[in-house]
Every structure is written in C-alpha cells, then in structure tokens.
Amino acid sequence: MNRTEALEIVKKQLTERRYIHTVGVMETAIELAKRFEADEKKAELAAIFHDYAKFRPKEEMKQIIIDQNMNPSLLEYNTELWHAPVGAFLVRNEVGITDKEVLDAIAYHTSGRPGMTLLEKIVYVADYIEPGRRFPGVDEVRELAKIDLNAALIQSLKNTISFLMTKHQAVYPDTMMTYNDLILGGQTHD
C-alpha cells in the first residue's frame, strides 16, 4: 500500500486536527527510521495507521478488547490506551495489513512494552515528539531523539509517568515495565 492510499484510508477515520497530527507522526517516524537505520516504509505505514481507532466508540473498543481476548487489565486503566491495540486489530481486519512488525508498532504506541523493537520505539517516540506537540518536556525528548532513541524513549516514559502521577492517575503496568526494561538494559524480558 502506498502512502497516498494509506492516508486516504486513515483520513476518513480522523478529525482534521488528528489527521494533521498523523502526518506529523509519519514524517517524524520516517526521519527517525532513516537516522536509526530502520525500515522506512514500515515506519511510515505504522505511523499513518497508529491512531486509526482513536475515534471509535468506547463501547466498540471495549467489546473488541473482550472478544479478541486482549489483555483484560486494559479495561481497568485509562480508555486512552484502548485505541492502540484495538487499532492494530482493526487495521489488520479492515485495511488488510498483516505485517506483524507494523501491527505491533501500532498496538504498543501508547503503552510501550518490555523488549520493544526498533520500529515500535520509533513510532512511540514519533508520536510523542511530532512537530505539533506542545507540552512541558517535549523539546528535551526531541533533542535526545537526534542522538539516542532509547534515551528519548526513556525520557518520554518518565514524562508520561510523572504526568499521570501528578494527576493522581494509575500508570498502566506495561508502561512502567517498559521504563524498567530500558533502565535495566533489556534485562527484564527473555
């Protein structure tokens, strides 16, 4: 699937603002893929579809999580996490993308996971630092992403965890485990 086709498909699922964000994530992911020697086409595709399910009804997403035997603990945490794994499922079933690396990059772009692949890290960081993002700490992560993808990912996770804690919100266990995995140098997974 080429970029134009993919963008046409995803544009129908998003608001104009979210579509602009998606284009920014796509451009950032391609840039990071070049910088860190990843597959640029896979980075482009995963970035285009990363928010495919963002505006699906919460009840629909909840039912997909249940019906597809996704991690049931997702339902105990912020609904903002749901669109990533549900999006991967829908991209596979509605769009026909079957590349596991691309689907996993979509599925883990909000939570992370221990043992993240290079592509998963690129999409996660690209989503965090795309040019339209404006929040405390984003510029530091942008600078880190110029030289060290893992350092950028660690800082983005620290920022996210700290933000959730200041808002008295629960931190999804996979996010905390991702942070720990990176800090421990990948020693927490097989």
- Per-residue pLDDT, 187: 57
Non-local (6+) Cβ contacts of 37 within 8 A are none
Report d(CA 34, CA 151) in Å as an integer: 17
Structure-token match 């993808």, residue found:
149
Report, as an integer, the average pLDDT of 72-76.
Answer: 94
Q: What is the rounded distance in angstroms from the CA atom of residue 87 to the CA atom of residue 99?
A: 14
| Per-residue model confidence as pLDDT tens digits over 137-166 | 999 999 999 999 999 999 999 999 999 999
Give the mean model confidence (pLDDT) for residues 115-124. 98
CATH topology for 3-183 is Hypothetical protein af1432 (1.10.3210)
Place of tokens 């990363």: 50
